[in-house]
Amino acid sequence: MNTEMKKASAAMRRIKRVRAKISGTAKRPRLAVRRSLMHIYAQLIDDVSSTTIVAASDKDVKVGKMTKLEVATEVGKVLADRANSKKISVVVFDRRDKKYHGRVKALADGARANGLQF
């Protein structure tokens, strides 16, 4: 097994470990965060019906001269505003295979600042 395959395999194990503990419903959807080197995406997912309720990404935010942390915070705020318009206030946080710090934490703080609870 080469190095790339080992990294991908380890990431999938971490994702499965986190997902085994959490699940989203219509009343309390799962807030899944996907972070790449350049972009950050977030969506509220109802796992019972396998549907995405609300989504937001850095493409929805006017980036301009913002740092990646500031962009992640704004994405969290946009997602929370869209969730509030759908009458969703409580979610379950899914960090996937990433640690809860940096841009993932900034997105969560932005969502909390605009009214989401988790």
Domain ranges of the chain: 3-113
For 77, counting Cβ atoms within 10 Å of its Cβ (0-12 exposed, 13-18 middle, 19+ buried), the class is: buried
What's the pLDDT at 64? 84
Class in CATH terms, 3-113: alpha beta
Residue at token pair 């379950």: 92
Tell me what pLDDT residue 109 has. 97
Identity of the amino acid at 43: Q
For 58-99, write each residue's pLDDT tens digit: 999 987 899 999 999 999 999 999 999 999 999 999 999 999
The residue type at 94: D
- ∠ CA 36-95-75, rounded to 5°: 60
